[in-house]
Amino acid sequence: MLTVMVELIPFSTALRERSRSAHSGSEHAGFMADLMRGNGTRDDYVALVAQHWYIYAALEAAASTFATDPIAAPFITAKLTRLPALEADLEYLIGADWRTRITPVPTTERYVTRIDEIADAGWAGGFVAHHYTRYLGDLSGGQFIGKLMSRQFELGTNGIGFYVFDEIADPAAFKDVYREQLDAAPWDAAEAERVIDEVLLAYQFNTDLFVDLAAAKAASAA
Ligand code: HEM
């Protein structure tokens, strides 16, 4: 009986429930929590934008790899593409030479390596796991984070383009369709489990990223 009931839970619901505490870990990581509470600096915000650049470069390169994959393709749309916005943000925040002024922290290197490995292996489920963790987050809490950063650092509409999805008028409706697509993915129980594990790993990278950024900040203040 229990097995039957478990199978009735849509995959997207199981995924959200199974990742709830990992989400909480990322959301409340000290570096992010400080930024949200107004205890972070503009430099802290810029450091985060820089790490996002490496992560989305990897994610969006992987999206090109999977563009014609039957499982991954329904999730891939230019409406989500963040790299050009990140580059415009970095140019505004750091200057035209931003590329020579940023470096990845160790967690970002590991995060990027993992996304590259998944692309090289052609594992569509793993790609969807990373795609979901970043973009659904950006369309959820990210919408609030962007407004808060703009207000805190008096950026107006500059330097926060990453959080602005010009082509997605209704993020809630977009997320509903995305969840329907997750539920329609042709994964058996074992693959569904592997995808959930990969989402948990993606959350861990995001939490560890905040730990690294806090350590880098402490080191530069010393
Ligand atoms: C201060 C930081 C954060 C805040 C305030 C926040 C807030 C939220 C909120 C309110 C939702 C629910 C939206 C809804 O029900 O439609 C949400 C969903 C989500 N967040 Fe976050 N979040 C934060 C950080 C993160 C991070 C670091 C990640 C991972 C990169 C992330 C990934 C997600 C995902 C994937 C969802 C969608 C869950 C689902 O409905 O399946 N969030 N977030």
> In a 10 Å sphere around its CB, with 0-12 CB exposed, 13-18 middle and 19+ buried, how is residue 173 labelled?
exposed
Cα 23 to ligand 1 centre (Å): 7
- Atom index in ligand 1 nearest the CA of residue 210 equals 27
- Atom index in ligand 1 nearest the CA of residue 32 equals 1
Is residue 131 in contact with ligand 1, taking CB distance under 6 Å?
A: no
26-50 pLDDT, tens digit each: 999 999 999 999 999 999 999 999 9
Is residue 52 in contact with ligand 1, taking CB distance under 6 Å?
A: no
pLDDT of residue 222: 79
> Is residue 7 very low, low, confident or very high in pLDDT (cuts 50, 70, 90)?
low
Q: What is the DSSP string of 50-69?
A: HHHHHHHHHHHHHHHHTTT-
Cα 140 to ligand 1 centre (Å): 5
Q: Alpha-carbon torsion 21, 50, 78, 35, what sign?
A: positive
Q: Express as a percent the part of the chain with pLDDT over 90.
A: 95
Residue 123 has pLDDT above 70, yes or no: yes
* Nearest Cα residue to atom 6 of ligand 1: 141
Residue 2 has pLDDT above 60, yes or no: no
Domain locations along the chain: 39-221
Residue 87: which of 99, 104, 79, 75 has the closest Cα? Answer: 99
Fold of 39-221: Heme Oxygenase; Chain A (1.20.910)
> Is residue 221 very low, low, confident or very high in pLDDT (cuts 50, 70, 90)?
confident
Is residue 26 in contact with ligand 1, taking CB distance under 6 Å?
A: yes
Q: Express as a percent the part of the chain with pLDDT over 70.
A: 97
pTM above 0.85, yes or no: yes
